[in-house]
Amino acid sequence: MKYSKFLKVAAVSVLFAAPVTAQVTDPAATPAPAAPAAPAAPTDPAAPANPAAAAAAAPVAAIAVDPTSVVGNVLATPELSTLAQAVKAAELVDDLSQPGPFTVFAPNNDAFARLGAGTMQQLMQPAAKDQLSGLINYLVIPGKMTQADVVAAIEAGGGKAEVKTVQGSVLTATLDAGIVKLTDSQGNATYITKADVQASNGVVHVVNGIVVPAQG
């Protein structure tokens, strides 16, 4: 299967360049809108939705999709409403409706909220579509990897596994107190909070933070 449209993306903006250390459970530690927060390992796998983050997304016309696909699951899940708006704004709905299979690490609304409303509003603009596409493509892996598959790869790699994303950059998977942790090259990390949401063309794992592709 071809991923031509996925691969035709620009490097994500310097808005995301610096790693940060604010914790998911401490809203007062939220950084400036220019950088994503690095979440702590979750103690409760059910991360709440953030209506404010969804409201920050620019409205996009509805697109008919297969509700059983990975993108259909994203569009139908309230805690992923900001990601759903971003996928539409980046015009990636059709791509994620293809046979795949795909593995999607889907940031919940709280993860996007830590970017700040100004950053999300900027990314939702038509002029930033390539940057937004790059960010979303970095959350997608060609092929289907369940959580058990990820853990097996980590164990086979002596404690870590590198997975190449559709965007082209690599994510590093490790275990933190038994929870799968994904880290980008800048040190930003996210944790799987809800694993193995099965779809007709792959699997979705809900995560609680934002990771970004390598710059340049």
CA 89 to chain centre: 15
Q: Over pLDDT 70: what percentage of the chain?
A: 69
Q: For every residue of 17-76, which 3-state class applies, written as one string?
A: CCCCCCCCCCHHHCCCCCCCCCCCCCCCCCCCCCHHHHHHCCCCCCCCCCCCCHHHHHHH
Average pLDDT, stretch 59-78? Answer: 78
pTM to 2 decimals?
Answer: 0.72
Candidates 151, 153, 197; CA nearest to 176 is: 151
165 token code pair: 């994303």
CATH 2.30.180.10 fits 43-207, yes or no: yes
**pLDDT value, residue 40:** 54
What integer best gives the mean pLDDT of the chain? Answer: 77
Distance CA 40, CA 25 (A): 8
* Res 56: pLDDT: 42
Locate the domains of the chain by residue range: 43-207
136: part of which helix (H) or strand (E)?
helix 129-137
216 pLDDT tier (thresholds 50, 70, 90): low
